[in-house]
Amino acid sequence: MSSFSSDLTDRDYDVKIGDYFSRGWEIFKQKASLFILFTLLLFIIQVVIAVLPYPLGSNSDEPVPGGILNFAFNVITPALTAGYYFVAFQLARGRDAVFGDFFLGFNKFLPIFLTALVAGILTAIGFVLLILPGIYLAVAYLFAQPLVIDKSADFWQAMETSRKLITKKWFSFFGLLLLLFLLNLAGAIVLGIGLLVTVPLSVCIISAAYEDIVGLNSVAEI
């Protein structure tokens, strides 16, 4: 496991939203077809699960749990979506990426899963209690998964490092995520087809912010 500088959370930085959108687009367009194809694959899997009858899928006339495949997909979703970061980071390093790289998240399945699970639970608790703590954590954990992927941090180290680092410019990151929400809303309006572009592009933009503020390891650690 690699280590990253203990002074990471002490550094000062500026949040350059315009630059991140430009850099994110630059990363995305290098392998736009692969990003779109992978996003389409995830959408197809969800559609298939939705139409398959319960208990295999989630299609049921009764208010029952989502089914076996839905549960399994929810478990592996963090590893799958981490694939966006693996590919984006490779491209940001100036290296090539292939479709199989989207599945590299399974090489770090446990820390990626635990990060998503624990961060999700704490954020949900924050929303249930007073709402504002949930909003705070939803933004503050933005770099948690990238830190696990790029720096091989354990889940709690990644969550706390992300929280402390992003808290310094929390409102700027809130603004960034608000813009990404609007971007995806626009993608959804176009019959949902636009999401095939806006979803991976959003991750590329976050990757650009991470690259600027944290800095990428010179080589991928998988």
pLDDT average, residue stretch 155-162: 95
Q: Does 7 reside within a domain?
A: no
What is the model's pLDDT at position 73? 93
C-alpha to C-alpha distance for 102 and 79, rounded to whole angstroms: 9
Q: Does 205 reside within a domain?
A: yes
What is the model's pLDDT at position 1? 41
pLDDT tens sequence across 47-87 = 999 898 888 888 877 776 778 998 999 999 999 999 999 99
pTM of the model: 0.93
Q: What are 53's strand-pairing partners? A: 59
Q: Does 10 reside within a domain?
A: no
Q: How confident is the model at residue 219 (pLDDT cuts 50, 70, 90)?
A: low
Q: Does 39 reside within a domain?
A: yes
Domain ranges, residue 123:
16-213
Q: Does 8 reside within a domain?
A: no
- Which H or E run contains 121? helix 109-129
Give residue for tokens 């699970």.
Answer: 117
Q: Is the pLDDT of residue 194 over 70?
A: yes
C-alpha to C-alpha distance for 144 and 78, rounded to whole angstroms: 12
Q: Contact, 27 vs 33, CB < 8 A?
A: no
Q: Does 1 reside within a domain?
A: no
pLDDT average, residue stretch 157-185: 96
What integer best gives the mean pLDDT of the chain? 92
Q: Is the pLDDT of residue 9 over 90?
A: no
Q: Does 182 reside within a domain?
A: yes
Structural domain total, the chain: 1
Q: Does 201 reside within a domain?
A: yes
C-alpha to C-alpha distance for 190 and 183, rounded to whole angstroms: 11
